[in-house]
Amino acid sequence: MPLPEHLARHRLADLFLDSFPYNAHTTTSDALWAGLPVLTLAGRTFASRVAGSLLRTIGLPELITTSLEDYEAMALRLARNPGLLAELRTRLESNRKTCGLFDGGQFARNIEKAYVAMWEIYMAGEKPRAFTVSPT
């Protein structure tokens, strides 16, 4: 299905219930881009924490749960409180326009800076090490 049609389907839903123990990755990103809030259960592995990372980045950390009980309770709370769900959608739409998650240009500039920093570390004869890239 063409991407615009795929994303349009997301706009018809009220809430995306993420899978566990393997979270949605690109699908979470697609849902958030389309304005669909995602409820996730974070686990201990990379595969079970991706959606949570995306939600933190977009400014919706309250949609990250850490137990099946909390996941179910939050799903029911959102289903029973359309006003809360509407507020989350509004915040998602606002954050989508301003946060770095969907800013491809900024991502490219930052990764280019990271490559330069890695090269400089290598050329200085240093061992690989952690470093931080400050967004511009």
| pLDDT at residue 98 tops 90 | no
Q: What is the mean pLDDT of residues 109-134?
A: 95
Say how far apart CA 3 and CA 7 lie, in whole Å: 6
Q: What is the DSSP letter of 38?
A: E
| DSSP assignment of 67-130 | SHHHHHHHHHHHHH-HHHHHHHHHHHHHHHHHSGGG-HHHHHHHHHHHHHHHHHHHHTTPPP--
| pLDDT at residue 136 tops 80 | no
The burial of 42, by beta-carbon neighbours within 10 Å (0-12 exposed, 13-18 middle, 19 or more buried), is given as buried
Neighbour count for residue 113 (Cβ, 10 Å):
15
pLDDT in tens, 9-29: 998 999 999 999 999 999 999
The answer to whether 102 touches 61, Cβ cutoff 8 Å, is no
Walk me through the domains of the chain, giving residue ranges and CATH numbers.
Answer: 3-102 (3.40.50.2000), 103-136 (no CATH)
**What is the structure's pLDDT at 128?**
95
The pTM assigned to this predicted structure is: 0.80
pLDDT in tens, 28-51: 999 999 999 999 999 999 999 999
Say how far apart CA 38 and CA 48 lie, in whole Å: 14
pLDDT in tens, 47-65: 999 999 999 999 999 999 9
Between residues 133 and 61, the one the model is more confident about: 61
